[in-house]
Structures are given as C-alpha cells and as structure tokens.
Structure 1
Amino acid sequence: MFLKLALQTLILTALCGAGGFLASLIHTPLPYMIGSLVASGLIGIFFSDRLPEGYRFPMKFRMIFMALIGVMIGSRVHADLIAEIPSLIASLTVLTGFVFAAHGVNYVIFRHLGGYDRPTAFYSGTPGGLMESLALGEEAGADIPILTMQQFMRIIAVISIVPLGLSLYYGAPVGSAGGQSMAAPDTSAAAIPLALAIGLAGLFIGTAIKLPAAQLTGPLLAAAIVTVTGLADLALPQWAINLSQVVIGTSLGMRFTGLRGRTMVVAAGLAVVSVTAMLGLGALCATALHSATGAPFDALLISFAPGGVTEMALIALSLHANPAIVTLHHVYRIILTVIEMSVIGRFRRAKQL
C-alpha cells in the first residue's frame, strides 16, 4: 500500500514538475511552485476520474520539503539580523492593525457580496491561521466545504498575484523570474543530508512544543541556531529548492480535486476580491512604513501579504528579501489572527446564547 501511494505521488509530482519547468521557460514569477500548482489544479479539476480512487497527496511527503525550505530560511539568520529585531516594532505594530482591518473587510465581502452565513463569512475572512480557522469554523457551524475552499484559494491567490504584481510594479521580471537564484553558489548534493537531518529534528521539536506553522518554523529555528553558533554552514543546491517548490505547489493544487461548477467559480471570484482588498491594505501599510523607516517596500509588502508562511518565505527568497524577517512577520500575523478570531468567535457565541 505504501509503495503504491509513493509511486502514484512520484508520477504526479513528475507531471506537475513538467508544468513548473514550462513556467520557467516563459519566465513566470516563482515558476516551479506556480507552474506545478496550475498543473496539479488542472489535473484535480478536469482529470480527477483518472486519479486513483481515494487518492490524497501525502502530507508527510510535503513536510520533508517544507523542512528543507525552513532550513534554507534559517540559514539566512545571522547575529546582525537578531540585532535588527528592535527596529521591527513599528512594522509589527502596524501589522496588528492590519489583521483586524483585513478581517473586518473580508467579513463584509463574504457576508454581503458572497451571501455566506455569518460563521462561514467570519472564518473564511481570517487573514491567516488556516487550520485553526477550519477547526473553529466547524465548531461554530460554518459550511466546511466552502470554508476550506475559500481558505486555500486565499493562499493560492496571494502566491499568484504578489510576484506578478511586483513584476508589473517594477516594470520587469523580479526574483526568480528575473534570473535570481535562491541557492548558494557551488553547492552540491552532499549538503542535503545534514540540512535534512537538522530540518527533521527541528520539525519534531517544533511539533512537540506546538510552534505556529511548526513544519516551517521548527526547522527554521534549528537551522538558525546552527548557523548563528557557527556549528555548520547550511546550504542547498538549486535543484533541491526547485523540487521543494514543485512538491509544495503540487500538494496545493490537489486541494481542487473534484471541485467544479458555480460554487468554485464564486469562491475563486470572492478570493480574488478579498486578496486584492488585503493586498491594497497591505500596500498602504508598506508605503507608510517605507516612508517612515526606509525599509524596502517589496519586503514590507511580502510581510503583509496574507499567504502561507512557506510560500511567502519562498517569494522573499526569490526576491532576495530577507526571508527570516518576512517569516517573523507572518508567524506574528498567524498568532495574532488565531487569538483575534478565538476571542471574537467566543464573544459572538456567548452573545447568541
């Protein structure tokens, strides 16, 4: 059974990897993740009957590559970065207001434009905390299929729109689409075993102590400790980074398996409206912070973009923005969102009693 699932997953990943390669030929932003996501989504929507019965992309397989991405981000943490943390107070303060404002705007969009019931609109509109939104939404009586679709479409819309928007903003391809590499030069496959061992150790510890987004933050912190203390110089070859993007993109696209019809079209349209509103709000925050602090606008925008932590870190890496700072902002966003929706959700339920 395990070998059969492994073979099916390898074939699917290879097919979607071809989509990533084609995307790289036409210089799309973050090509290996977005290209594989599109290929996987098309397979899930139009060829779901060709997939093995009951097939689900194995999350443990995805976690291995997320751990590698976490190590890659953690290897960018140095002592001078730690010294910068006090300077982030302004952006974290603005991010606090962003979370409340974005959730409020999203609630209006899903409730009044989408016509969703109150619990579904409330938990569909959270700017983060995907798994927590699903768990609390189910408890509150939300429509779980719609809520799940809406939350995943938020992430997919962000990772599709942000790199493209920045390319249009600068008038030229940016990041990986502009030929930038996320890998350290002259890195061989011999570096992978150590990086993987540190990543898996961080994943185990991060999960045990219940870190937010533990599959990324655990390996990140483990790699940061190793790098800052000088125990090892961690690096990954470019092909390993590309493969990690393909696996992450393929697993995201598989969320669309079996989805068709008006419900999906409506959800996709609402996701675009919601994400556009949040990115517009994030752009205002980034512009204000850029004027006040001089921090790079693109790094600030990515820090406010409400996508998945791993995906936003990959975008930061492809743009040569500091992924550790971006990840710190997103972890804070997720923690704050979970606290905010838990408190407001409990208040709403108490009011209804």
Structure 2
Amino acid sequence: MRHLITTLGLLGLSTASGGLAQIIGVPLPFMLGPLAVSALVATVLPHRLPVGYGFPKHLRLAFIAIIGLMIGAQVTPALFTEAHDFIYSFAALTVFVALAHGMGYAIFRRLGGYDPVTAFYASTPGGLYESIALGEAAGADMTRLMLQQFLRVIVVVTAVPIGLSLWLGAPVGSSAGMTLARADVPWSDLPVIAIAGLAGLGLGHLLRLPAGQLTGPMALAAVLSLTGVIGLDIPQWLVNMAQMVLGTALGMRFTGLNPAMILRGAGLSVVSVAMMLALGGGFAFVLHRITAEPVDVLLISFAPGGVTEMALVALSLNANPAFVTLHHIYRILLTVLGLGLITRLRERRL
C-alpha cells in the first residue's frame, strides 16, 4: 500500500511540475518537469521513500506502448518515398556510432579516470540495457556504468529540445503548441487503444524486437495504418500522461546514489553528450544538403538518447517521428552488434 501511495504522490508532483513547466515555456514540459522533480526527490529525499521502492515497470511499459502506437500511426506510404535517402543517412549513422563510441571512451578513460572496461561500456551511444548487461559480465564498475548510461539519456532528452529552442529563437515542441495527438478522441476509442497496446507489447516480446516495448506497438500500428484496417488516434491528454510517467521513471533512476558521484558523472556526461551532439550535428548539416531532410529531424535522428525518449522529442517537435525512430533502431542495432562482437573477441583473447 505504501508503494502505491508513493507512486500516486510522485505522479501528482509530476502533474503539477509538468503544468508549471508548460506555463513557463520549457520545451517538452510534460517530460522535463516531472524528470526534474522526481530526480530531486530521489537524490534529496530518498529517506522518504519506502524501503525497496522502485517506480512500477508495468506502468512505464504501458505508456511506452502508447507512444509506440502513436508513432506507428504516422507511418504512411509517403514515408517510403524517402527510402532512397536512407542509404545516405544509415551509412552516416554507421560512421557516427564508431566515432562517437571511440571519442566517448577517450573522455571516460582520460578525463574521468575510469578503468578500460567501465569506460568502454559507459561510452556506448545506444543500447542502454545491453551495455549494462554486457558490462556487468565483463566486470565493469556497475554503479558508474549505470549512472553514465542513464545520464546519457537524460542529458540528451534535456539538451536537444532546449538547444533547438535557443537555436530557433522560440520555444519548440508542446510548449509551442506542436502535437500529433488529437484533443477530440472519444472515450469509446480507449478500449481499442488498450487492446492494440497490449497486442503490440506481445508482438515485440514474441519477435524479440529491439526496444520491443516501443517497436512492437509501433509495428502493429504501422501495419494497421498502411492497410487502412483501422486508424489509431491517441488523445492529447494520454500523450501528456505518457510523458509524465516516463519523465518520472527516468528521474527515479537516481534513487540511493551519492550526490557527489552524480555531479561528477553529470559533468562527464555533459562533455560526452556535447561531443556526440556536435558530431551528429555535423552529419545532419551534410545530410541536409544531400537529402533535403530538415536539419532538426536529422539531428534528432543522430542524438544518442533512448528510442522512446527521442521518439517523444520528435513527436513534440512534429519532426517525422517514424523517420527518427527508424534511425534510432538502426543506431541501437549497430551498437549492440558491435558490443557483442567486441565482447566475444575480448573473451577469446582472455
């Protein structure tokens, strides 16, 4: 019961912080507001949380599925007219992953003083859970590895919308009224949305898709959209709730961590992410000249955040979320395949 009350209390704080963030014009307010408040609770008031408390995974999965459905519903035949440009962006992503990982390793090894194994798995530009699992098996410092991987996602999710707002000179995303959701979806559509979400989660698990909790529902909604069987419209209030839940879940990752370690890790993460974003920005400007795809869409496609979180950024910015998500799935596949290969080579050498 105490865990349930704590979860409801956190969601209440998230609702208030999301509303406040929207009022003051913060980009992606319904994610960044709850993220900041829940991170504050996790680091300053961890003694107020019940013993062994963790934000409910099933609640997070349910709302990730909602985001997946919304992205999949944007997949139309028009997306495939751009397929000939994917060869350029995918080739650039392949180079980006290798360069970003190598430069990140140098930062954590030389600037952070991490041991080689921890620095290697902490510097991956994707594959959060795979990096943690393989790093643990290889003997990495798990506290530092988990901290850096979660901070990578959080810094990217925070920096990208704020950076784009500063670059464009005006608020972007939902704080500027951008949305792909609808405000007039009838309540009678909610059972259909729930069934589609559950079916999509099952599909992702059955097929073992990368980031299956997102890509399973996305694939199902895409098929429904392309075949014209049914059109899935997600209400705006449900999208806002999804952002609040995911922001709260991210912030609660800091529970129990030493504040000094968090600050040091945050400094290293800012340097690492700045390097990756600068590298991705360079690729984005070059690809813009080749493909005519908007620079902001390409930048988000290269940003080394989590698939779900970056999909939310794309949704908020009205920046072709299906295009962005396809590139993030490819980035994560590349990262995980590279990690697996290097891990096996290392094991053979040892």
Do the two structures share a fold, i.e. TM-score over 0.5?
yes
Contact 2:2 2:50 (C-alpha < 8 Å) held by counterparts: no
* Other-structure match for 2:100: 102
TM-score (structure 2 length as normaliser):
0.97
* Other-structure match for 1:124: 122
Contact 1:28 1:177 (C-alpha < 8 Å) held by counterparts: yes
Deviation at 1:341, TM superposition (A): 1.3
Deviation at 1:4, TM superposition (A): 4.8
Counterpart CA distance in 1 for 2:285 and 2:176 is 24
Superposition pairs for residues 41-80 of structure 1, below 5 Å?
Answer: 41-80=39-78
* Other-structure match for 2:194: 196
TM-score (structure 1 length as normaliser):
0.97
Q: What do you get for the CA RMSD once the two structures are aligned?
A: 1.2
Contact 1:37 1:253 (C-alpha < 8 Å) held by counterparts: yes
Secondary structure at the aligned position of 2:54 is classed as: coil
Counterpart CA distance in 2 for 1:197 and 1:191 is 10
Contact 1:70 1:218 (C-alpha < 8 Å) held by counterparts: yes
Secondary structure at the aligned position of 2:209 is classed as: coil
Contact 2:30 2:240 (C-alpha < 8 Å) held by counterparts: yes
Superposition pairs for residues 285-324 of structure 1, below 5 Å?
Answer: 285-324=283-322
Deviates more, 1:255-264 or 1:321-330: 255-264
Contact 1:182 1:241 (C-alpha < 8 Å) held by counterparts: no
Counterpart CA distance in 2 for 1:70 and 1:261 is 34
| Alpha-carbon displacement from aligned partner over 1:282-301 (angstroms, at most 9, x marks no partner) | 00000000011111000000
Deviation at 1:177, TM superposition (A): 2.1
Match of 1:245 among 243, 246, 250: 243
* Other-structure match for 2:110: 112
| Alpha-carbon displacement from aligned partner over 1:20-67 (angstroms, at most 9, x marks no partner) | 111111110100001000010000000111111110111111100000
Superposition pairs for residues 131-210 of structure 1, below 5 Å?
Answer: 131-210=129-208
Runs (5+) with no aligned partner, structure 1: none
Deviates more, 1:186-195 or 1:313-322: 186-195
Identity %: 53
Deviates more, 1:66-75 or 1:171-180: 171-180
* Other-structure match for 1:277: 275
Counterpart CA distance in 2 for 1:158 and 1:344 is 26
Contact 2:183 2:237 (C-alpha < 8 Å) held by counterparts: no
| Alpha-carbon displacement from aligned partner over 1:168-210 (angstroms, at most 9, x marks no partner) | 1111111212122231252233322212211110111111211
* Other-structure match for 1:234: 232
* Other-structure match for 1:343: 341
Deviation at 1:325, TM superposition (A): 0.7
Deviation at 1:239, TM superposition (A): 0.9
Contact 1:299 1:321 (C-alpha < 8 Å) held by counterparts: yes
* Other-structure match for 1:20: 18
Deviation at 1:260, TM superposition (A): 2.5
